[in-house]
Structure 1
């Protein structure tokens, strides 16, 4: 399935991209999307948003939707999702 990823501010600088689209398995998690991005763009992507298997403490991920559902590294994604990575306030 395809998932669109958006990164803002310092996270874009850390990872080297503002947006991307990646193909992942149907049962993919946020961490799987980060791994797919790292495969495409380099290891700085993983280091920029994950600490081990968890999100960095300064990173927030939301499903780009009306309610901006917060996600964790283990959250499952759906076909066509857009996930937005930002720094915590």
Structure 2
């Protein structure tokens, strides 16, 4: 099989379609389906930007990005908390080296 740039898009579309069908037939796909729509909006916005439709592309990317950030807010909060803890320990370590 010759690899070209359309194979990746085709495989992605097949995967997304299979996930939607599995969900409709009652196979629990978890929270993955909740992330599908915002990621698809970002992808369509990028495709719009690539094809010269910059206004609609930016709108789709912004709405998809905001929706995805809301869905990932728990993970973002955990990463922020870990970063604050690490930064706090680094401040303590620097202060103890001064004396």
TM-score (norm 2): 0.20
Higher RCO (CA < 8 A, seq sep 6+): 1
- The structure number with the bigger radius of gyration is 2
If each structure's helix is expressed as a fraction of its own residues, which one has the higher value?
Answer: 2
If each structure's strand is expressed as a fraction of its own residues, which one has the higher value?
Answer: 1
TM-score (norm 1): 0.21
